[in-house]
Chains A and B, each alone.
Chain A
Amino acid sequence: MRIFTNNLRLFWDGTLLSYRALFHWLRPAQYVASKVFMPLAQMFFFVFLGTFATSAANAGFYIIGNAIQITAVSGIFGVTMSVGGERETGTLPYLFGTPANRLVTFFGRAFMHVLDGMLGVVIAFGWGVILLGLDLSHTNLAALGLTIAVTTLSTCGLGLLMGCLSLITVNVMFVNNFVYFLLLIFSGANVPLADLPNWMQVVSYALPLTRGIAAARSLVAGAPLADVAPLLWAELGVGLVYGLIGYFLFSWFEFEAKRRGTLEVF
């Protein structure tokens, strides 16, 4: 019981404090800008580009795709910083010198970003409705909320893996940008998956976001939750796989760093 409450607290404190310690919302203005205006910029860019290239009737396709994809700002950038940032702060030896449960510590790093990511998507949908004429009148909003939550979780799973990779490769910014841009195209946010070459579609289905975006599009078009449930389960599964691979990589990293003496190399 004591172990359980300890770990619960580790999860909670770790989640809040590490979020503030390793992510950048120290200045509220910065946070608001990244949360409110950054989604707007991305939505505008892809919606106008997309409708210009195809037809105005396709606006919804781009609005929904990019609104969901916004979750990667937290899920990839945020989570990666929350794991990979430990190198920069030089706290790894002190972190690994504690008996803290690594699984809880590791997944705790992502939690605030899950909330943060969902908020980002909601704001992006808000912009879609207010400025871009997105029609949600046929949408089961609770189901859409669930889709946002599931997709954010799975994206954070990939973020955890990326965070570990950045610990190992020591290049957080490169990893972040690479994955973010990869997702813009592979997730189907901006191109119908069917129009991608076959090998790209294979990659798409191995990534988080892809099924979540597809589910959101169906829901906005009026589909009931039951229709998209398989997509959501699969989305969750993909995220879990990435999260677990990330965790094993994290454990491996700790072991290797102690074996090779690279804990403080940065």
Chain B
Amino acid sequence: MNAIEIKQLQRIFKTHTGVIKRTAREVRAVEDVSLEIQEGELFGLLGPNGAGKTTTVKMLATLLIPSAGSASVKGFDVVKQADEVRRRIGFIFGGERGLYWRLTGIDNLRYFASLYGIDPDVSKKRIPYLLEMVGLKGRGDEFVGGYSRGMKQRLHVARTLLHDPDVLFLDEPTIGLDPVGARDFRQVILDLQSEKKSILLTTHYMFEADALCDRIAVIDHGRIIALDTPGGLKQHVADLSVVEVETFGASEAIIGGLRALPFVDALSVEETEKHQLLLVQTKRGAEAVPDILAALDGQRLGRVIVREPTLEDAYIRLVGGAV
């Protein structure tokens, strides 16, 4: 049996804008998604902002009713057998909301334990165990209002593991965590996977998806545009090299000119405060460098390197823009 089965799932939102003259608008958040996620699989869902990742996760977590299509978790339909699904899933939506700030960490967990109908004898042992697991040992007596963002996210992880769910939905769980916290968290995810849990992870960090996921689906405009192992996705760009060029204040026109060059397969720009990093994908490898530099003639340049493509480059080629 697959842990998760999604068949032609669709979700359309109807929203209204304007106060006096109300105009209805349709947002087709999830257009057509079909997927099967196996038992024990760690599955990544990648895609640009607004691609429909969170919407998909919400439907699987029984928090949103699909407009069309169906989905089941552990063989239970997410609409018709929602309670059965809820007993078997845990979910986190990255961020710090969704906890009772006026309660201590432990009391938050106690409350959710009672909502999940967990025996107090069980939760008495499980709560300290989970607090230790997420690195909140000794902080459970403090009010959650005084927790840092990362601590709140850790508490969310403990909350969602209270009833020992088989299937986990983690929507951008490492967002806003410091590098060490994020690394700890990735370790927690791997530990959970070794406990044979099936995990659906969404993230914008490509290296994270590369390091963790067994398979990855890239979703854009509510449709799956690629589905493969990280290695398989990288094969899409195996024939390419990436030339990274650091520029300072290159204009749209200059960048557009570069993008139009025949040997440039894809170009994305990472902007930071001080400089821009142009990521040029090309089949010509190092040979392309003189032509690239010629196209940037007159610009102030920093370092230039040529490297093998990563999952991020495969992703950029697929969705065709900046991450």
Contact = CB atoms under 8 A, between A and B. Distances in A.
Contact of A21 (B58, B86, B97, B103): B103
B102 A95 contact: no
A13 B110 contact: yes
Contacts of A96: 62-63
B116 interface: yes
A14 B114 contact: yes
Contacts of B301: none
Given A17-B103, A21-B100, A261-B13, A97 B61 contact: yes
Given A17-B107, A97-B86, A258 B63 contact: yes
Contacts of B101: 89
Contact of A26 (B11, B98, B102): B102
Given A260-B14, A263-B63, A94 B159 contact: yes
A100 interface: yes
B253 interface: no
A259 B107 contact: no
A94 B111 contact: no
B114 A89 contact: no
A252 B58 CA distance: 19
A105 interface: yes
B43 interface: no
A67 B97 CA distance: 39
A103 to B, nearest CB: 13
Interface in B51-65: 58, 61-65
Contacts of A224: none
A95 B115 contact: yes
A93 interface: yes
B175 to A, nearest CB: 15
B64 A14 contact: no
Nearest to B101: A89
Given A89-B101, A93-B98, A261 B83 contact: no
A26 B101 CA distance: 11
A13 B111 contact: yes
Interface string B148-186: 000000000001000000000000000000000000000
A98 B111 contact: no
B321 interface: no
A259 B65 contact: yes
A13 B297 CA distance: 70
Contacts of A105: 115
A31 to B, nearest CB: 13
A105 B117 CA distance: 12
A5 B281 CA distance: 62
B83 A99 contact: yes
B91 interface: yes
Interface string B109-134: 01111111100100000000000000
B99 interface: yes
B68 to A, nearest CB: 13
A20 interface: yes
Nearest to A13: B114
Nearest to A101: B117
Contacts of B116: 98-100
The 8 closest A-B pairs by CB, nearest first: A90-B97, A21-B100, A13-B114, A100-B115, A6-B117, A98-B115, A99-B86, A17-B111
Interface of B: 11, 13-14, 58, 61-65, 83, 86-87, 89, 91, 93, 97-103, 107, 110-117, 120, 159
